[in-house]
Amino acid sequence: MGESSNATGEKAKVYEVDELLKNLKLHGEELNEVILGQEEVRRWPAVKWLAAGKILTGKPYSMQPLKNTLMAAWSPAQDVTFHELGTNLFVLQAHYLGDWKRIMEDGPWLFRGCALMTEPFDGATIMPKIIPSGVEVWAQIHRIPPLFRKKEVIEQLAQRVGKFLAADGVAVQTRTGVFHRVRVKLDSSKPLTRFVPLTLEGSERMFLQVQYEKLPKYCEHCGLMGHTYLECGTGEHGEDERQFGPWMISEEMYWKPGTPGVRARFTTRDG
């Protein structure tokens, strides 16, 4: 609920519709709905390049600084429009296919260290049916034994990290071995995955290290993205309770070419 000024200069309260409907009795014309046929709607042009967006943080942020930061990062060929729906929740629309693909495919995009999460939106409801809850990132699975460097095995390993989206076709050589790069959507409600286990039936289990390329802020205590360890519970955690850390982030020299910007300029010890 907020306030706005009417023609007389008085302050008028602005209520959420759901809040009003709880207490009001609607009369006849208010219940005489406009009904649109499915066939009629299917003949209309689809609303293009529309997405629900949400910033992964418990802190509320103003829309204008958020828009300014994202627009500077995207450098779009045409304007991108924003419509605020709630705290850190909004609808964005691109007006050019190249801008749309960059926004949706080239992230993760960060605002003050926090991830922008997106989901395509058909524009058929006031609020999106699917609220964004995942972060798309490039992850590296290290030291897969040569015998198991098969597409189907790599995809199964990636599914242990997040929802599998894509995989680079070749291994990348580093000073300490090789890794395979995968594109995954991380579930923001789950801790980050540090290792994936792999076992050949009848043999000893192997743990393969996972490293990430450009992560948003995350908690060294619980492993969730969106806050730091000082913001987790009371913030009073011993060193031995920090089960996650900078060692999970790959060296930038091994990031996928074209990754936007550089790693988030924050420390996990910031508040």
User: Model confidence over 200-209: pLDDT tens digits?
Assistant: 999 999 999 9
Q: What share of the chain is helix, strand, coil (3-state, %, to 5)?
A: 20, 30, 50
> Which pLDDT tens digit goes with each residue over 60-70?
999 999 999 99
Query: What CATH class is the domain 46-120?
Result: alpha beta
- Residue carrying structure tokens 């492993």: 223
Predicted confidence band at 30 (pLDDT cuts at 50, 70, 90)?
A: confident
Q: Which residues contact residue 36 at a Cβ distance below 8 angstroms, ignoring those fewer than 6 apart?
A: none
Q: Can you give the residue ranges of every domain in the chain?
A: 2-42, 46-120, 136-254
User: Can you give the pTM of this predicted structure?
Assistant: 0.82
More confident residue, 7 or 268: 7
Q: Are 132 and 120 in contact (CB under 8 A)?
A: no
pLDDT at residue 136 tops 90: yes
State the DSSP H helix or E strand holding residue 138, giving kind and residue range, or none if neither. Answer: strand 134-142
